[in-house]
C-alpha cells in the first residue's frame, strides 16, 4: 500500500506543472528529475525519470470523452507505472480531477471485463497486484476503457479512454525500465 500512496502525489501534479515532478513520500521529500518523454503512441504517451537514483517509467492518457453534471473539474488521466527498484510493476492509477466520495469505488470497464478500484482523494487504485496485472492485460487487449466515479459532492462522472497505442507504450516503458515481460 505504501508504494501506491507514494505515487498519489506524483499523479496529481504531473499535468498541472507541465510534468515537473515534486513528490512527497511518507512525509519526506523524494528527489525526482523532470520526466522525459520516451515516445507518443497514438492516444498514449510514455515517460521515464530518475527518483533518488532509481528509474521510474510510466505511460499515460487522457479521456476522449468526460461526462458528468459538474461546473469545474481538474485534470483527468490514467497512469500505468513501473518502479523496478521497488519491485512495483503495472501500478494503475486513475486521477479524476475531483475528490472522490469518501469510501467509494471507481468502476472500470474494458470490453466485458469489470474492475473496482478503491479511492483516496482524487485518485483510484487497484487493491492488489493481481488486479493491477489483470487490468493492464485488459487495457493492452482492449479498444476502449470506461471509468465511472462519484465526487465528494455526489456528482457521477463517466470518462471514456481510447486504448489505441497501449501495447506500444507499455513496451516502451518496459524497455526504458529494463523490465522483462
Per-residue pLDDT, 34? 92
Per-residue pLDDT, 7? 45
The answer to whether position 60 is within a domain reads yes
CATH number at 126 reads 2.60.40.1880
The answer to whether position 18 is within a domain reads no
The answer to whether position 29 is within a domain reads no
Per-residue pLDDT, 75? 96
* CB-based burial, 102-116: b 16+ in 10 Å, e otherwise: eeebbbbbbeeeebe
The answer to whether position 108 is within a domain reads yes
Per-residue pLDDT, 32? 65
Q: Which three cell numbers stand for residue 70?
A: 459538474
The answer to whether position 122 is within a domain reads yes
Report the distance separating Cα 123 and Cα 118, nearest Å. Answer: 8
The answer to whether position 153 is within a domain reads yes
DSSP assignments along 118-171, one per residue: EEETTEEE-SSHHHHHHHHHHHHH-SEEEEEEEBTTS-EEEEEEE-TTHHHHHH
- Helices 166-176 & 129-141, crossing angle to 10 degrees? 130
Q: Which three cell numbers stand for residue 71?
A: 461546473
Task: Give the domain range for residue 60.
Answer: 35-176
The answer to whether position 120 is within a domain reads yes
| Full-model pTM | 0.82
Residues of the chain short of pLDDT 50, as ranges, are 1-29
User: How many domains does the structure of the chain reveal?
Assistant: 1
Amino acid at each position: 500500500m505504501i508504494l501506491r500512496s507514494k505515487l498519489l502525489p506524483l499523479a496529481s501534479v504531473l499535468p498541472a506543472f507541465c510534468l515537473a515532478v515534486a513528490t512527497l513520500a511518507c512525509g519526506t521529500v523524494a528527489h525526482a528529475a523532470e520526466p522525459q518523454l520516451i515516445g507518443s503512441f497514438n492516444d498514449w504517451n510514455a515517460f521515464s525519470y530518475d527518483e533518488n537514483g532509481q528509474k521510474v517509467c510510466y505511460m499515460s492518457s487522457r479521456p476522449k470523452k468526460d461526462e458528468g453534471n459538474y461546473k469545474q473539474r481538474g485534470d483527468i488521466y490514467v497512469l500505468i507505472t513501473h518502479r523496478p527498484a521497488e519491485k512495483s510493476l503495472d501500478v494503475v492509477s486513475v486521477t479524476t480531477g475531483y475528490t472522490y466520495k469518501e469510501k467509494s469505488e471507481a468502476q472500470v470497464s474494458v470490453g466485458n471485463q469489470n474492475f473496482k478500484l478503491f479511492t483516496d482523494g482524487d485518485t483510484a487504485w487497484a487493491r492488489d497486484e493481481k488486479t493491477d496485472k489483470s487490468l493492464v492485460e485488459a487495457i493492452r487487449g482492449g479498444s476502449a476503457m470506461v471509468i465511472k466515479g462519484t465526487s465528494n459532492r455526489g456528482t457521477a462522472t463517466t470518462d471514456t479512454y481510447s486504448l489505441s497505442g497501449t501495447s506500444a507504450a507499455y513496451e516502451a516503458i518496459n524497455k526504458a525500465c529494463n523490465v522483462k515481460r
